[in-house]
Structure 1
């Protein structure tokens, strides 16, 4: 019996550059969390950006189920990359991040730098970003899966994305 070759390609600079571009260009993403009441998967759309040091971040409200879910269990997954206007959506690149969420405390230097960058990239959120029920969340990447198109799958680590 022969072993099947792995469908995962060796990570290279082209894959790293594509992953970096997907992260840099994303202004929204899909966030998967574990529902705090049932433990079942729950997916929602979030605003998305990068902190000045390149870490993925979002701005969440206490009213959202995913905020409660991240408070209960910081393990999550984030998907960036949108299909193009033409062709099969599954042939367009996308990046799935396995992350640990960390709420960023108000009044910290980290909060201030993330807030400034967020508002520069998401100016309309200036209407609500400072409301008491809104919080910035930083996603610390544990691993990533890049699908660069048909037959182009890569496994990436945090070191490949930073």
Structure 2
């Protein structure tokens, strides 16, 4: 006997909540494969000019090498509120592909936009070992609270 799929197709409210979670996220949990095993870390985040997540990572971080070796990753956004059970607060898991900004014009655009949301990163944003990375989702799972689970595709997220 198969279990009932708890995820429903996205509707307008689910798409709006998912985009809001990305727009408001300043930190996220990033999961990569490192040496063949799962590895999760916290990263700083900002919505890019297209509304999709952007981060700034250093060559010194283990997840940077992992993303260069295998750009497929997962990202969890959505912070628990100040009250109540943390598992009742909305959260979004994205399955994404890391795309490193390599063209100078792209890097400048992402830099300016990122620093608008993460001004403290000004201290190290121009270091040679730091890289802007777009996290381009191909799917997602939104848990909007009890009984509010949705499956999202790239087009639902604005990709």
Whether TM exceeds 0.5 here: the answer is yes
Post-superposition CA distance 1:31-78 (Å, at most 9, x none): 00001x3x1100000001111112211000000000010011001000
Give the total of aligned pairs. Answer: 158
User: Is there any run of 5+ residues in structure 1 with no aligned partner, and where?
Assistant: none
Structure 1 residues 106 and 133: CA distance shift in structure 2, 3 A: farther
Could you tell me which of 49, 54, 70 is aligned with 2:51?
Answer: 54
Are residue 139 (structure 1) and residue 138 (structure 2) matched? no
Cα distance in 1 for residues equivalent to 2:37 and 2:68: 16
What's the counterpart of residue 30 of structure 1? 29
2:142 alignment partner, SS class? strand
TM norm structure 2? 0.95
Are residue 118 (structure 1) and residue 114 (structure 2) matched? yes
Larger Rg computed on CA atoms? 1
User: Is there any run of 5+ residues in structure 2 with no aligned partner, and where?
Assistant: none
Cα distance in 2 for residues equivalent to 1:6 and 1:77: 21
Could you tell me which of 145, 150, 153 is aligned with 1:154?
Answer: 150
Note if contact 2:22-2:52 (Cα within 8 Å) is conserved in structure 1: no
CA RMSD, aligned part only? 1.3
Structure 1 residues 152 and 114: CA distance shift in structure 2, 3 A: same
